[in-house]
Amino acid sequence: MTTPGPLSDIRVIETGSLIAGPFCGQLLADFGAEVIKVEDPATGDPMRQWGVKSGGHSLSWPVIARGKKSVTCNLRTEEGQGILRELAAGADVLVENFRPGTLERWGLGYDRLAALNPGLVLVRVTGYGQDGPYATRAGFGSIGEAMGGIRHLTGEPDRPPSRSGISLGDSLAGTFSALGTMMALHARSRTGRGQVVDTAIYEAVLALMESLLPEWEIAGSRRERTGAILPGTAPSNAYPTADGADVVVGANRDTVFARLCDAMGRPDLAAGEFATHDGRGRRQAELDELIAAWTRTLDADDLLERLHAAGVPAGRVYTAADMVVDPHFAARQAIVRLAHPVLGEFPVQNVVPRLSDTPGSVRALGPELGEHNAEVYGALLGADAATLRRWSDGGVI
């Protein structure tokens, strides 16, 4: 990628760890920002060790830290805190996900940082936000998912609340944080002043809950776990095929349902009570059984060919194995492959969304711990080799 990303003039200092804060940094790096990740010199970000590994190397780290530079700095030392102050003085954005009050205890509160750099945007990602009675509690993404409402709605109705197979709450918080960062930078272009972006994980999840609250307060209706369906929205489900695959069909709109009925050879189903959205909703289970009885007679490829020809939205339930061989993924370069120094060719999902003139790109996989100490501290802080040795010998970096 030769075109600079749209954020190529933005410098981000990322002090967060795990996913919520670093996912914000990943999104900004994807679009060209210089993201300098500050890690503890003893252990680094725990994501370096978490998740599935190959040959002792985490397969999560190269993804979440892609496009970033790594420096080490012990923020629990006075000299380390001074280093971060200097980095923040020359940055546009500082991302952190410590408990509220931690930066302040280290002399790194926004008032002090803004005195050095009035244009700085401080992005703070926590479980519960910077204020309120729960602010100082430890908060993980899973707790945010529970409090934000998604856990109560995930799973089968006769079983305890479940979860998705990804860290949804953390990634949502990181996404909203990146959005907040861009809005704060846009405001700065008019005012010259930075500000604080306060993202709570539970609020990021809550933002996705559609009409959950008025349904309860106004209609007295409480949403519950419904498994693979949305009650009253039919047909929209995963249906079995003759060769053991699952195919999701979304035909809940009247005109699309009529096309599905034609593809099934059952145009009669589009008449009577099934003709309307409400009618299909009332007989949802019965309708799903009728459709499943048809899909079970066809292999997945044959079924999908018929549905696509009829203009019915449908798709196989993909695993990673399906994604890496799919021609549409390949045509749009939804997956890109970079060289890992130990693991070789390394596949990662590409940048979203796509910009026509200033697209983002995956520039590099996650760096080694402290890989950019000399480069960053030398260029930005003027530290020479003797200073770097002194910091290293003293456990500061």
Hey, which residues are catalytic here? 170
* SS3 at position 11: strand
Quote the distance between the C-alpha of residue 187 and its chain's center: 24
CA-CA-CA-CA torsion for 103, 106, 108, 110, nearest 10 degrees? Answer: 50
* SS3 at position 85: helix
Contact (CB, 8 A) for 348 and 62: yes
In the numeric block, the tokens 């670093």 are attached to 22
Cα 179 to Cα 274: distance, rounded to the nearest angstrom: 42
Q: Which DSSP symbol is given to 296?
A: T
Q: How many CB atoms sit inside 10 A of residue 394's CB? A: 12
> What CA–CA distances, in Å, run from 130 to 96, 118, 139?
12, 20, 12
The 314-316 sheet, strands edge to edge? 236-240, 246-250, 314-316
**Would strands 34-39 and 344-349 be described as parallel, antiparallel, or unpaired?**
unpaired
Cα 10 to Cα 375: distance, rounded to the nearest angstrom: 17
